């Protein structure tokens, strides 16, 4: 095979971990020139730079410097800039990952330039049309030539939508492959020591979804939940959440909570160390559901639905919304050691994912 140029597009925090194992595989292929293009959707060092360093990712070949903005503005800016990059680099294939605005923007540009698109984490659906990511998922799958699915239900979702199933492959969850690769470093880190905490003696919280933080009433409910949690609570705060707390005048209320350890967004290793060490995690994140299940840490998912049902069915996750009663009961159940444990199937979903993806891509490009 002649040398092929493949561009992987990243933009927001959860994208970086998904590209890591793919980059590792391609590094060993002499006939593949793999480049990373960063849209700049996330730009703070703590949301982007530290992940490149820790994951050992090469410097992006191009940085589009798009920054924050409303959905249309951000998606549009990425498209304008990424189109120029594609016309210049002329990639043989573009890889997009996950469901953020950078994912759909890059997929649409590439497909219209007749560049094949591969989507990693295809087929996931929350069936919640108020989630911006749900549109990104559906439309990206619709545009993709190759669809790499992370859990069995994804294949069914694609079939139901009439997407040619022969272009879809169930490969597993690449996020868990990254976790396995970095496990020794994570287990050595003991990040809780930096906050004077003891392992299995604190609750970890991450909350950043627009549905939980963008309206004052919703965010107040979240704060009430935090106030009701027993013992120490570690809360690495996402910039969106921090901004909303400031905007709604709620920052002081949070700072007054004596049980709360409020910290900056954590690096990859630091966060996973905190996750492994906590007794319970309360989160509205998508990928944390997989990571918590890997460690068998009880995960209360502060959402009404999930695009990753396997981690509630066979992992250590439960949908709890913002229902204080259910949360209190679930916390007790977890502290009593009665929370459901993950199956071996779930714990092994991260095996050889990138190998399957990169072999399939090379086959496609032959």
In angstroms, the CA 124 to CA 98 distance is 9
The answer to whether 38 is a known catalytic residue is no
- Give the nearest distance from C-beta 343 to ligand UD1 in angstroms: 26
Site string for ligand UD1, 129-148 (x = CB under 6 A): ---xx---------------
Quick one: 194 or 246, whose CB is closer to ligand UD1? Answer: 246
- Give the nearest distance from C-beta 352 to ligand UD1 in angstroms: 26
Q: Considering the rule CB under 6 A, would residue 14 count as an interface residue with ligand UD1?
A: yes
Interface pick for ligand UD1 out of 8, 25, 39, 41 (rule CB under 6 A)? 41
User: Residue holding tokens 């990059």?
Assistant: 85
By CB under 6 A, which span of 37-45, 78-86, 115-123, 273-281 interacts with ligand UD1? 37-45
Catalytic residue among 34, 38, 208, 238: 208
In angstroms, the CA 162 to CA 183 distance is 38
SS3 category, 116: coil
Beta strands in the chain (DSSP E): 4-10, 32-38, 62-63, 93-97, 117-122, 146-149, 168-170, 202-206, 232-236, 260-263, 280-283, 299-301, 317-319
Q: Rounded to the nearest 5°, which phi and psi values hold at 105? A: -60, -45
3, 5, 25, 26, 213 from 31: Cα distances, Å: 4, 9, 12, 9, 46
Site string for ligand UD1, 50-69 (x = CB under 6 A): ------------------x-
Quick one: 25 or 140, whose CB is closer to ligand UD1? Answer: 140
Q: Considering the rule CB under 6 A, would residue 42 count as an interface residue with ligand UD1?
A: yes
- Give the nearest distance from C-beta 77 to ligand UD1 in angstroms: 12
Q: Considering the rule CB under 6 A, would residue 12 count as an interface residue with ligand UD1?
A: yes
**Binders of ligand UD1 in range 238-257 (CB under 6 A):** 239-240, 243
**Neighbouring C-alpha atoms within 13 Å toward the C-beta of 119:** 34
Report the alpha-carbon angle 222-225-229, nearest 5: 140
Do 190 and 183 meet the contact criterion of CB atoms below 8 Å apart?
A: no
Residues that bind ligand UD1 (CB under 6 A): 12-14, 41-44, 47, 68, 100-101, 132-133, 208, 239-240, 243
Q: Which residues are catalytic?
A: 208
């Amino acid at each position: 095979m002649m040398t092929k140029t493949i561009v992987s597009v990243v933009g927001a925090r959860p994208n970086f971990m998904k590209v890591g194992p793919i980059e590792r595989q391609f590094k060993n292929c002499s006939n593949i020139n793999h480049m990373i293009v960063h849209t700049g959707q996330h730009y703070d060092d703590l949301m982007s730079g530290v992940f490149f360093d820790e994951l050992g990712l090469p410097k992006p070949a191009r940085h589009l410097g798009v920054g924050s903005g409303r959905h249309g503005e951000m998606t549009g800016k990425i498209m304008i800039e990424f189109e120029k990059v594609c016309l210049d680099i002329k990639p043989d294939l573009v890889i997009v990952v996950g469901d953020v605005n950078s994912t759909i923007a890059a997929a649409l540009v590439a497909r219209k330039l007749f560049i094949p698109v591969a989507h990693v984490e295809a087929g996931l659906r929350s069936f919640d049309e108020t989630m911006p990511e749900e549109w990104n998922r559906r439309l990206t799958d619709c545009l993709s030539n190759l669809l790499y699915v992370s859990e069995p239900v994804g294949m069914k979702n694609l079939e139901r939508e009439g997407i040619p199933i022969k272009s879809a492959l169930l490969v597993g969850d690449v996020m868990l492959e990254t976790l396995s690769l970095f496990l020794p470093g994570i287990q050595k880190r003991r990040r809780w020591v930096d906050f004077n905490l003891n392992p299995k003696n604190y609750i970890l919280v991450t909350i950043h979804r627009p549905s939980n933080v963008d309206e004052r009433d919703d965010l107040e409910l979240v704060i009430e939940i935090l106030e009701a949690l027993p013992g120490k609570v570690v809360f690495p705060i996402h910039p969106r959440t921090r901004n909303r707390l400031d905007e709604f005048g709620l920052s002081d209320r949070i700072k007054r909570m004596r049980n709360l350890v409020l910290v900056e967004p954590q690096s990859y290793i630091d966060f996973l160390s905190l996750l492994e060490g906590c007794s319970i995690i309360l989160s509205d994140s998508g990928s944390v559901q997989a990571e918590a299940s890997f460690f068998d840490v009880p995960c209360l998912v502060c959402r009404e639905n999930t695009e990753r049902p396997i981690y509630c069915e066979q992992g250590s996750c439960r949908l709890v919304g913002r229902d204080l009663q259910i949360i209190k009961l679930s916390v007790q159940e977890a502290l009593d050691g009665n929370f459901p444990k993950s199956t071996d199937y779930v714990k092994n979903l991260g095996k050889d994912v990138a190998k399957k993806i990169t072999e399939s891509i090379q086959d496609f490009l032959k």
